[in-house]
Amino acid sequence: MALYELKSLGLVCPFPLLEAKEKMEQLEKGDALKIEFDCTQGTEAIPRWAAEAGHEVTDYEQIGDAAWSITIVKR
């Protein structure tokens, strides 16, 4: 399993989600993608997309006052 990082801080919605989808397509099953973002809509949209796509959210936390980090494993 490899861990990849996607820093989407400063991008407005829906760009963090779009970038996450694009990056996830490039990964192998079992690889993890850690996404850092500060778009409040992404706090619901990114975990929902991951669940609907069948991926596993392994870590989700707030970093700072208005940013989040989520780690998703490709299934």
pLDDT tens figures, 13-49: 999 999 999 999 999 999 999 999 999 999 999 999 9
What's 6-74's CATH class?
A: alpha beta
Sequence spans of domains, the chain: 6-74
Distances (CA, A) of 44 to 28, 50, 70: 25, 10, 11
Distance of alpha carbon 71 from alpha carbon 56, whole angstroms: 8
Radius of gyration for the alpha carbons in the chain, expressed in angstroms and rounded: 11
pLDDT at 61: 98
pLDDT at 74: 98
pLDDT at 34: 99
The set of catalytic residues is 13
pLDDT at 57: 98
